[in-house]
């Protein structure tokens, strides 16, 4: 192969790589973008609840809680975490704490500890 043929082969290879890269980096569809946005929103809501609820429970009871015994969510607007101390080996000053976080409120919308409502904010739809 002489130098001209090598140069032509290199140019063809560069173009082929360019076409492959453009073809493989196609844009996501609107449905894929919506699904990804919903997953990010649910993850952010869950993270916020896992950060704020234990702090609110500690401020009221003085007990540190770590992992909720149950979780309920509609995967769009709210997440509700429940800590049931009767199911753990550790001693707590409360038996059951329920914390609900709504995205529309931007934080804890309801906190109930042993049947006593500690926080209750109006949820606007």
CA distance to 28, 40, 101, 107, 109, per residue, from 35 (Å): 11, 9, 21, 23, 26
What does 63-97 look like in DSSP terms, one character per residue?
A: ----S-SEEEE-SSSEEEEEEEGGGSSS--S-SEE
Give 18: exposed, middle or buried? Use CB within 10 Å, 0-12, 13-18, 19+: exposed
Residue 67 has a CB neighbour count (10 Å cut-off) of 10
Q: What pTM, to 2 d.p., does this model score?
A: 0.71
**pLDDT tens-digit series, residues 51-95:** 999 999 999 988 888 889 999 999 888 999 999 987 777 777 889
> What is the residue extent of each domain of the chain?
54-125
What is the 8-class DSSP label of residue 106?
Answer: T
Residue 27, token pair as written in the block: 């844009």
**pLDDT tens-digit series, residues 107-120:** 899 999 999 999 99
**pLDDT tens-digit series, residues 26-49:** 777 888 888 888 899 889 999 999
Q: Torsions phi, psi of 40, nearest 5?
A: -65, -40
What is the 8-class DSSP label of residue 103?
Answer: T
Residue 125 is predicted with a pLDDT of 66
């Amino acid at each position: 192969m002489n130098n001209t043929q090598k140069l032509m082969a290199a140019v063809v290879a560069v173009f082929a790589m360019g076409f492959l890269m453009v073809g493989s980096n196609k844009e996501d569809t609107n449905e894929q973008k919506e699904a990804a946005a919903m997953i990010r929103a649910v993850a952010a809501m869950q993270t916020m609840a896992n950060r704020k609820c234990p702090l609110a429970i500690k401020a009221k009871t003085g007990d540190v809680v770590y992992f909720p015994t149950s979780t309920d969510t509609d995967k769009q607007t709210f997440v509700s975490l429940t800590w049931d101390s009767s199911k753990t080996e550790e001693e707590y000053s409360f038996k059951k704490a329920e914390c609900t976080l709504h995205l529309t409120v931007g934080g804890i919308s309801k906190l109930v500890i042993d049947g006593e409502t500690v926080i209750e904010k109006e949820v606007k739809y």
